[in-house]
Structure 1
Amino acid sequence: MRLVVVGNGMAGSRLVSEVRARDPHMRIAVFGAEPCRPYNRVLLSNVLAGSSRPEQVRLVDASWYEAHDVEAVLGATVTGIDREGGHVVTACGRREPYDLLVLATGSDAIVPPIPGVERAIPFRTLGDCERIVAAAGHARRAVVVGGGLLGVEAARGLAGRGLPVTLLHLAGHLMERQLDVEAGEVLGETLAGLGVEIRTGVSAEAVLEDGVRLAGGELVEGDLVVLACGVRPVTWPAERAGLRVRRGVVVDDELRTDDPSIFAIGECAEHDGTVYGLVAPAWEQAAVAADVIAGGKARYRGSRLVTRLKARSVELAAMGETQLGEEHAEVVRFSHRARGTYRKLVIRDGRLVGAILLGESDVVGTLTQLYDRGGPVPGDRAGLLFPGSSATPVADSPTLMPDAAKVCQCNNVTKGQIRACWEAGARDVAAVTAATRATTGCGTCRDAVEGIVDWLCEQEGVSV
């Protein structure tokens, strides 16, 4: 059986490792358009901020492919799929036969069609990130266009390097897809306190040598302009091959396209009308597709999304239906703008269907578990937001957290799995990470994993 994977990013590389874990003999070739080994795109904001080096966000060691008998063709764009002949064609003319094909082509950065946009740098790939860091070294002021998740992370990272930053956003408040109006405003106030000037409700009309011209003629000064205007699924290889495409490449519960020998996963795939833009669904899809490819009967039923902002001095988690108001759901809300704190629970039919937690909070783990499981919400609603004020237990504490509690959302790792690998000899975070992949997604669970490992060591009197 010959498996070809088109795309060697976070989805494609995970699919390859999942298939190899299930089938040691299948012939596997993976084609990556980028010339480098796969890396954790989620952690690029850390590279931009200077808290991580590029080599620290790599997902695969250089020797992994040879050790696992996988052919990796890097810097090779697949330009065509011959479904009748059963092979793919690269830009350099290579023709690779397949029995099964997986499309993991991801997304491209959206570049607005405005004059001078070539002067700006998109924030999407590791190469983009390295260009931004190099330019920041001699820039006097930066402008970030786009106030979604990536734009906020980029602005905070550049401000952390000492650059004055202006963040421009078309919508009326930041991260409007994940946050309601007040949460977006509180986030903007928090960023302003960290050195980022926020301009919402504005449209970039042109990129000039000395900044960005807004609609209406105003010039926002900056000699470094970064684009974070969203992403668009890369679907053209599938479209050229005649596969069914809407917003993404349409797949069923086995992640198959309308051609049963071709699968699609990650940001390029559309399942049940949804295109997911986060890493956890991509990795869940990779596991399901790998099971099916290896002869199993797994099914993908969709993912529950939890968005975490990874910016120094800014704590934010958002999940589910955050935009609902009192007319459609029970809403529990607390706001303390002077402290940069905003907490909101959205409850419907006695279950948590959405939440926003902005500012330092010790209840993220508890609420994430409630949302992820869809279990009933305790009657003491206020106790969920302020656990110290009631008898409501805090599941973030290792001693109170049940073994079924999910610690790493990106990789579906529970406390029980961490306990099991600790009992098998994994006595530090690095060993737990190697055994379970916990902490390798967005990285926000690292403190929780460390706390569980430390607690287990204390219980057994083990010194590390």
Structure 2
Amino acid sequence: MTSKQRVVVIGAGLAGVRLAQRLGELGVPALLIGEEEHRPYNRVLLAEVLAGRYGPEVAALPAAGELVRARVTGIDRAARTVRCADGSAIAYGTLVLATGSNPVLPSLRGLFTPDHVLPEGVHAFRTMDDCLGLSKAVRPGVRAVVIGGGLLGVSAARALAARGAQVVLAQQAERLMERQLDPAASRLVHRHLTDLGVEVHTECRVRDVRCAGGAVRAVELADGYALDADLVVLACGVRPRTGLAVDAGLDVGKGVLVDDELRTSDPYVHAVGDCAQHGGTLYGLAAPALEQADALAALLAGRTGARYTGTRSLTRLTLAGHAPTGHAPTGQASAGRGPADPAPTDPAPLDLAAFGDPDPLPGDDVVQLADATRGTYRKVVVRGDRLVGGVLVGELGTVGALARAWEGAEPLPAAGAPLLHLLTNDGGS
């Protein structure tokens, strides 16, 4: 295969590595371009690395394809090459953008130094470098303020609490993880964090970051109340990395616009993962990114009928200390903790699963089961004879049955009893 025929993937994150891996299995070699110095890793596990349960090596992804470490600065669509910061150019036959997303840095007074860098003690939480920097800074008793109560903010707060930090979480919305969870599920997450010693403030807007001597000292809220802080973690969401696509003249909305073949407005350029906007949707989660990579690999390998029409996966959101398959926790090897530092506490895991639309419309059937003592909650929404959404918190024994009902989009049995059965039977999971 010549350089003009090969598949070049910009981005060595979860979506890019999965695509290269699947292409290799199908006999189509791919070249990965990654700009981070670290071996490609699973971003989902960064909170567990921060918590000290895993060393960075546990988050590493399997090797897939040829990897070039370079920062891409431009795409020449006419010549079908990508330009790199070191002056080199890489030719492609098919180009795939798997550039992911960048952390959103809020507009706060005092957030940046006069040199336009974050003050000492203020950290984004998106990359392995961010994670390792935080890991070196956190110690028992450190006062940490996490700004943002989505999945990333909740994960960061939980990890810092496990390392013995005094954690305050400030969430502007009225509840935690409002994008994934309904109010009842959010309340359980709130209670879980509180039980870990995290002080949670919702409907709380941060106005100012106070620094002295180039280091953070406090965070000021909109009502004037100040939270003392040695560490501040910015977990305010992410924004798709679309700069290369914009500069190359590709069609871009909130993300890089793609069709059911994950093709951009240039037939030789595709996009997958966090940077891709399909059918008006930015998914921003691991499961859809993996599904897109699998679909695109099949398409590029010439498999007939290969398309991506949207995610049908139940997304499992784990706030837990479980090691990934094939790995044991290796917290003792975590960067930033010396031999004199105590091992992290290992709070009870909290497993979450969410899929589809958990907010019912008029006429929908809703089945809910809640156990306040055990801290578990299960809810499904049925529209007509189809399972259209649901949320589970705590014990996920039923997740297998629900995943099959959701992903298969098959009609449910006519009687009402099977709805309850979906929430109480483990379905062989």
The TM-score normalised by the length of structure 1 is 0.78
Query: What is the distance in 2 between the residues matched to 1:356 and 1:220?
Result: 33
Question: Segments of 4+ in structure 1 off by > 6 A?
Answer: none
Query: What is the distance in 2 between the residues matched to 1:273 and 1:144?
Result: 30
Q: Following TM superposition, by how much is the alpha carbon of 1:221 offset from its aligned partner in structure 2, in angstroms?
A: 2.2
Q: 1:2 to 1:143 in 2, by over 3 A?
A: same
| TM-superposition CA deviations, 1:364-398 (whole Å, max 9, x none) | 222222222223335313333334xxxxxx3135x
Which residue of structure 1 lines up, in the alignment, with residue 339 of structure 2?
none
Which residue of structure 1 lines up, in the alignment, with residue 404 of structure 2?
369
Paired positions, count: 380
Q: Are residue 213 (structure 1) and residue 217 (structure 2) matched?
A: no
Q: 1:190 to 1:328 in 2, by over 3 A?
A: farther
Contact 2:208–2:220 (CA under 8 A) maintained in structure 1: yes
Q: 1:180 to 1:255 in 2, by over 3 A?
A: same
Q: Following TM superposition, by how much is the alpha carbon of 1:350 offset from its aligned partner in structure 2, in angstroms?
A: 2.1
Q: Are residue 4 (structure 1) and residue 3 (structure 2) matched?
A: no
Output the amino acid matched with 1:383. Answer: H
Output the amino acid matched with 2:220. Answer: R
Which residue of structure 1 lines up, in the alignment, with residue 368 of structure 2?
333
Which residue of structure 2 lines up, in the alignment, with residue 454 of structure 1?
none
In structure 1, list runs of 5 or more residues that go unmatched: 388-393, 398-464
Which one of 269, 278, 284 corresponds to residue 277 of structure 1? 284
Structure with bigger RCO (C-alpha 8 Å, 6+ apart): 2
Which residue of structure 2 lines up, in the alignment, with residue 382 of structure 1?
420
Contact 1:139–1:223 (CA under 8 A) maintained in structure 2: no
Query: What is the distance in 2 between the residues matched to 1:371 and 1:292?
Result: 24
Instruction: Tell me which moved more, 248-257 or 373-382.
Output: 373-382
Instruction: Tell me which moved more, 104-113 or 207-216.
Output: 207-216
Match of 1:339, SS state, is coil
Match of 2:53, SS state, is coil
Which residue of structure 1 lines up, in the alignment, with residue 264 of structure 2?
257
| TM-superposition CA deviations, 1:233-285 (whole Å, max 9, x none) | 00110111101111111111111111111111111111111122112221221
Query: What is the distance in 2 between the residues matched to 1:159 and 1:308?
Result: 22
Give the RMSD, CA atoms, in angstroms. Answer: 1.8
Which residue of structure 1 lines up, in the alignment, with residue 91 of structure 2?
97
Output the amino acid matched with 2:358. Answer: T
Which one of 8, 32, 35 corresponds to residue 34 of structure 2? 32
Higher helix share: 1
Q: Are residue 115 (structure 1) and residue 109 (structure 2) matched?
A: yes
Contact 2:141–2:166 (CA under 8 A) maintained in structure 1: no
- The alignment-based identity, stated in percent, is 47
Q: 1:307 to 1:287 in 2, by over 3 A?
A: closer
Which residue of structure 2 lines up, in the alignment, with residue 227 of structure 1?
234
Instruction: Tell me which moved more, 354-363 or 254-263.
Output: 354-363
Match of 2:158, SS state, is helix
In structure 2, list runs of 5 or more residues that go unmatched: 112-117, 211-215, 321-348
| TM-superposition CA deviations, 1:312-353 (whole Å, max 9, x none) | 32122121111226x351111233334322221111112211
Which residue of structure 1 lines up, in the alignment, with residue 356 of structure 2?
320
Contact 1:205–1:213 (CA under 8 A) maintained in structure 2: yes
Match of 1:300, SS state, is coil
Q: Following TM superposition, by how much is the alpha carbon of 1:206 offset from its aligned partner in structure 2, in angstroms?
A: 1.6
Q: Following TM superposition, by how much is the alpha carbon of 1:139 offset from its aligned partner in structure 2, in angstroms?
A: 5.8
Contact 1:47–1:129 (CA under 8 A) maintained in structure 2: yes
